Amino acid sequence: MEIEFEEELSSDFARCISCGGCNIPCPLFNVDQIESSGMRSRIKILSMLSKGKIELTEGILRHVFTCANCGVCNDYCPVGLRPFDLLVRARGSFIDMGYVPLVTVDIRNSFRRVGTPIGDELIKGSWLPPDFQPTKNSETLFFAGCWMHKAIEVALNTRKLLERISGDITTIGPSEPCSGALLYILGEKDLAEDSKRNLEGMISELNPKRIVSGCSLTARIYPDLGFINLSSYILDAIHSEKIKLGKMKGRDNVLPIPSCGRDISFLEILKSLNGLKILEAPEWLCCDCGFTLIYRTDRNIFSRWVQKVLSLAEELGANHIVIEDAGCYAMITEAMQTKGRLKGIKISHISGLIMELLK
């Protein structure tokens, strides 16, 4: 299969010096420590394709599309290539050329059937009252995001917490659309743009003063939407004393799993809580909705990553794992139900932890 990338993209691939800096924070590379798992292998393959040195196969296409989609490697390239951004651009080019990898077909089809890329079994708004109706001109609109509709206890805790902070909150409800952020990083630019426009139209109609996002990936990929990340909103509420928190019972050694953006609010929240010792996490330890592709298409890889996290927690002496992103929490807890649970370690989403400590 012939490949012809646009000149600027091919030129960017050629700038790669193959140093491996992008592998350092790569979650998948750190699971097995093999070259084919890391970002460097993907950029090298794309560079060889652009020069006509290899031919495109379904295996290569799958490899290019399959990563944790964390984007952390962008900050580790010494020549400023932003490897993940290059990968997203290449994925979009492949799809424009008509090369759609089988690995993403189920995600695309799920979105077209039920409006979410995370699976057909999702029922949006099941955590809301049966007679719920969104309210216009509210103080705060809570954009839950697809995974939070599945992690019902997280959605309930988050809604209760936002009500304590703001009082006047609403959601879009069962008709809440996917933001399209996951579709965007998978190269599905047209589907992503349609979804984003649909969401913007619903938000415009409701006209809230602010929007708090329960989906970290949406806030990371679409900064132009002006969404406030949930952790940032909680931290501001703590600083402004809109909520007051008590002390943890006992002594918790916490391993934090932040979302994959560079917002430090999550860690600042944990550091502000009494009774917690925050353990230092390695660069590769982050997780958000971007992991959905690996979770849905290669559960074995995802399960090995979870076991790596649990082994790290045991090694560091953690007795509590606190997770920032709702999607990450849902995926990890589901994987642990099938793989077993590490004894003595509690797992919380940040909203559940804060609700537990509210005075």
Q: What are the residue ranges spanned by the domains of the chain?
A: 7-100, 244-357
What is the CATH architecture assignment of 7-100? Orthogonal Bundle (1.10)
Check residue 352 and give its pLDDT. 96
pLDDT of residue 341: 54
pLDDT of 338: 61
Under 8 Å between Cβ of 265 and 232: yes
- Supply the pLDDT for residue 262: 82
Q: Are 77 and 85 in contact (CB under 8 A)?
A: no
Q: What is the pLDDT of residue 245?
A: 93
**Could you tell me what percentage of the chain is helix, strand and coil, using 3-state DSSP and rounding each to the nearest 5?**
55, 10, 40
Q: What is the pLDDT of residue 336?
A: 84
Q: Calculate the CA dihedral of residues 87, 229, 252, 254 and round it to 10 degrees.
A: 10
**DSSP tag of 53:** S
**pTM, whole model, 2 decimals?**
0.94
**pLDDT score for 98:** 92
| Topology of the domain covering 244-357 | Rossmann fold (3.40.50)
Instruction: Report the pLDDT value the prediction gives residue 342, as an integer from 0 to 100.
Output: 58
pLDDT under 70: residue ranges of the chain: 1, 338-343
Could you give the dihedral angle defined by the CA atoms of residues 314, 320, 326 and 329, in that order, rounded to the nearest 10 degrees?
40
